[in-house]
Amino acid sequence: MKLKDKKAIVTGGTRGIGKAIVYELASEGCNVVFTFHSSHEAAKVIEADAEKFGVKILSIKADASSFKDAEKTVSFALENLGGLDILVNNAGINKDNLLLRMSEDDFDAVINANLKGVFNYTKASIKQMMNQRSGKIINISSVVALSGNAGQANYVASKAGIIGFTKAAAKEFASRNITVNAIAPGFITTDMTDRLNEKQKEAMLSLIPMKRIGLPSEVAKTVTFLASEDSSYITGEVISVNGGIYM
């Protein structure tokens, strides 16, 4: 087990990529606290799976855009897990629309949840990591942060901001043995892709050299790599997990 007895926080852990990350970390021996925004029942189902992994999996309701909630989550993790080695900033929302039709509220909501959320949890966690002189921070960005995408100006801006934030934080914390990296998933099987019709899926597949949509577990395994000592000399990087759609 690459992460035996490690302690992690995963934001947005009840579905899709976040849920896969929680399970992947747990399968590698890591104790996990994950946040949820509204899916209390889904969170309890995931918590109940802790027994089969032989680790702690605990949930806490939190709003990614709230710094107070981030502080509350970190305190909860320190109290219940006894430390914090890994932070995975995964929580995010989308409110897509063409720029001419996009409301100010929808722009602000996406920036606050996706980008400010990364700031909130990093700031709330970093003192603990600096004091112990070790830590792994992994931020989930997106392929569209690199390529752009029509109808997603708010989402693209938030995910591109995460990449810039990752590089700045990596430079600030490198001397304390804290690595900060980002993952940019491409089209991954989630609730979002499940809502697409067949024509939309065919158009998507035509853009992907590997001719398939990625799995949440493929992103989660990349998280494990970045959270483990296998990546001990990697920081400030963006790893694309996208089947070749952007190269």
DSSP at 102: -
Token duo for residue 57: 């999996």
Q: Which of 134, 129, 141 lies closest to 237, judged by CA?
A: 141
Assess whether pLDDT exceeds 90 at residue 190. Answer: no
pLDDT > 90: percent of the chain: 92
The amino acid sitting at 114 is: N
pLDDT at 195 over 80: no
Average pLDDT on 100-107 reads: 98
Q: Provide the token pair at 107.
A: 């722009």
Structure tokens at 180: 């900060």
**What does R_g of the chain's alpha carbons equal in angstroms?**
17
Q: Catalytic: which of 121, 155, 233, 246? A: 155
H-helix or E-strand containing 36? strand 31-36
pLDDT of residue 194: 77
pLDDT of 35 over the 80 cut? yes
Q: Is the pLDDT of residue 191 over 90?
A: no
The model's confidence at residue 28, banded by pLDDT at 50, 70 and 90, is very high
Mean pLDDT score of the chain, rounded to an integer?
A: 96
Q: Residue 56: its pLDDT value, please?
A: 97
* pLDDT of residue 197 exceeding 90: no
What was the pLDDT predicted at 24?
98
- Whether the predicted pLDDT of 85 surpasses 80: yes
Roughly what angle, to the nearest 10 degrees, separates helices 67-81 and 117-132?
Answer: 40
121 is catalytic: no
- 17 phi/psi in degrees, rounded to 5: -65, -40
What one-letter code names the amino acid at 33?
V
pTM: 0.96
Question: Are the C-beta atoms of 59 and 32 separated by less than 8 Å?
Answer: no
Contact 138, 220 (CB under 8 A): no
The separation between CA 115 and the C-alpha centre of its own chain, rounded to angstroms, equals 11
